[in-house]
């Protein structure tokens, strides 16, 4: 009896990948914020966004870990599943270096599709990988990354493959050459990390026949630009991968410092999400309505000092 090909995909599904492809087919640029957990995903959807990005850096930081490739595939897929379940939006998932070689990449693709993801992002660094905006990154040979891209394309049903190259930090020509190779291998979207100038973006977009993803991460090498500015440079997608985590972490740090200094959180009440707004975001009353044995909850009024 012959061995089965474990991770072969079919071509008859109509899942999240095709929904993301439809968004990309529209005119203009697709703005995709990072969502580091299910609640941030709900808030992004509430704000009107139509797709989301799960950053490995944001997720690992939320777990108290550095972005050095130490998170497991299972942890990534569990987070992706929670975000998709909560938001029902197409989700681009940062798969780092694919958790190994070709077979590992194929396993990752199947697990992410099972979790409902729309796209997997793979990068061409050597483990332990680093943030694309840091120094001394080491890249795998381009052909090795192309094999991973081809493996991902072979394994998917309709999951899109985002191929990231970190070569531009040393050579834009090398980044372009790698991107072309990755497109030939089956990449649907190309992510040139840490470009710095308008000319670099224009040249890259003109040289690579695939939708270009721009990374508008804060405190990195890429100067701040708006979605419209990236669109003018030839980009099809812009992500803000870690912004939600940075805002949340900054606010929580301020809260804890305030409680430690004042003995309570009352001074920050005007800046907190209210109970009513939280219940609205998570659909609290809609869940109650699914079971008529659960009485609809009444949000208590905020007590005043006189009471």
Residue-wise pLDDT for 16-42, tens only, equals 999 999 999 999 999 999 999 999 999
Mean pLDDT to the nearest integer, 103-119: 97
Does any domain span residue 223?
yes
Mean pLDDT to the nearest integer, 137-144: 92
Q: Kindly report the CATH number assigned to the domain that includes residue 70.
A: 3.20.20.60
- Give the model's confidence band at 7: pLDDT under 50 very low, under 70 low, under 90 confident, else very high: very low
pLDDT > 90? residue 206: yes
Does any domain span residue 67?
yes
pLDDT at 220: 86
What is the distance in angstroms between the CA of the first residue and the CA of the last residue of the chain?
78
Does any domain span residue 101?
yes
Q: Which two three-digit tokens encode residue 48?
A: 């009107």
Mean pLDDT estimate for the chain: 91
Does any domain span residue 263?
no
pLDDT > 80? residue 128: no
Cα separation, 215 vs 265, in Å, equals 36
- 3-class SS string, 178-246: HHHHHHHHCCCEEEECCCCCHHHHHHHHHHCCCCEEEECCCCCCCCCCCHHHHHHCCCCEEEECCHHHH
pLDDT > 90? residue 289: no
Q: Whose CA is closest to 139, among 130, 147, 148?
A: 130
Helices (H) and strands (E) in the chain, counts: 12, 8
pLDDT at 129: 72
User: What 3-state DSSP class applies to 130?
Assistant: coil
pLDDT per residue over 65-77, tens digit each?
A: 999 989 999 999 9
pLDDT at 5: 40
pLDDT > 50? residue 259: yes
pTM of the model: 0.90
pLDDT at 292: 75
| H helix or E strand, kind and range, residue 46 | helix 38-46
Does any domain span residue 289?
no
Number of domains in the chain: 1
Does any domain span residue 34?
yes
pLDDT at 48: 98
pLDDT at 131: 66
Does any domain span residue 65?
yes
Mean pLDDT to the nearest integer, 66-95: 96
Mean pLDDT to the nearest integer, 261-288: 93
19 CB-contact burial (10 Å; exposed 0-12 / middle 13-18 / buried 19+): middle
pLDDT > 70? residue 244: yes
Residue 158 and residue 59 in contact, taking contact as beta carbons nearer than 8 Å = no
Does any domain span residue 28?
yes
Say which residues have a Cβ less than 8 Å from residue 52's Cβ, sequence separation at least 6.
32, 33, 34, 35, 41, 44, 45, 83, 87, 89, 90, 91, 92
Cα separation, 52 vs 94, in Å, equals 11
Range of the domain at 107: 16-241
């Amino acid at each position: 009896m012959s061995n089965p090909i474990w991770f072969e995909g079919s071509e008859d599904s109509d899942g999240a990948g095709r929904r993301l492809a439809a968004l990309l087919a529209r005119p203009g640029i697709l703005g995709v914020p990072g969502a580091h957990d299910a609640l941030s995903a709900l808030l992004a959807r509430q704000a009107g966004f139509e797709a989301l990005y799960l950053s490995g850096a944001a997720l690992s930081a939320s777990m108290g870990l550095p972005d050095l490739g130490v998170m497991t595939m299972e942890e990534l897929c569990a987070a992706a599943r929670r975000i998709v379940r909560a938001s029902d939006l197409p989700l681009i998932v940062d798969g780092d270096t694919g958790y190994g070689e070709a077979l590992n990449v194929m396993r990752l693709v199947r697990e992410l599709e099972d979790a409902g993801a729309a796209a997997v992002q793979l990068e061409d660094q050597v483990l332990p990988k680093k943030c694309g905006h840091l120094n001394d990154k080491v890249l795998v040979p381009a052909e090795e990354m192309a094999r991973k891209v081809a493996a991902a394309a072979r394994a998917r049903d309709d999951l899109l493959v985002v191929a990231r190259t970190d070569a531009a930090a040393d050579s834009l020509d090398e980044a372009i050459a790698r991107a072309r190779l990755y497109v030939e291998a089956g990449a649907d979207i190309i992510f040139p990390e840490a470009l710095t100038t308008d000319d670099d973006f224009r040249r890259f977009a003109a040289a690579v026949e695939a939708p270009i993803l721009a990374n508008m991460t804060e405190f990195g090498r890429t100067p701040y630009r708006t979605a419209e500015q990236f669109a003018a440079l030839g980009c099809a997608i812009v992500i803000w991968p870690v912004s939600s985590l940075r805002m949340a972490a900054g606010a929580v740090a301020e809260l804890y410092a305030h409680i430690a200094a004042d003995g309570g959180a009352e001074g920050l009440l005007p800046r907190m999400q209210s109970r009513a707004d939280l219940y609205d975001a998570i659909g609290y009353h809609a869940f109650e309505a699914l079971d008529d044995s659960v009485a609809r909850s009444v949000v208590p009024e905020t007590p005043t000092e006189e009471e």
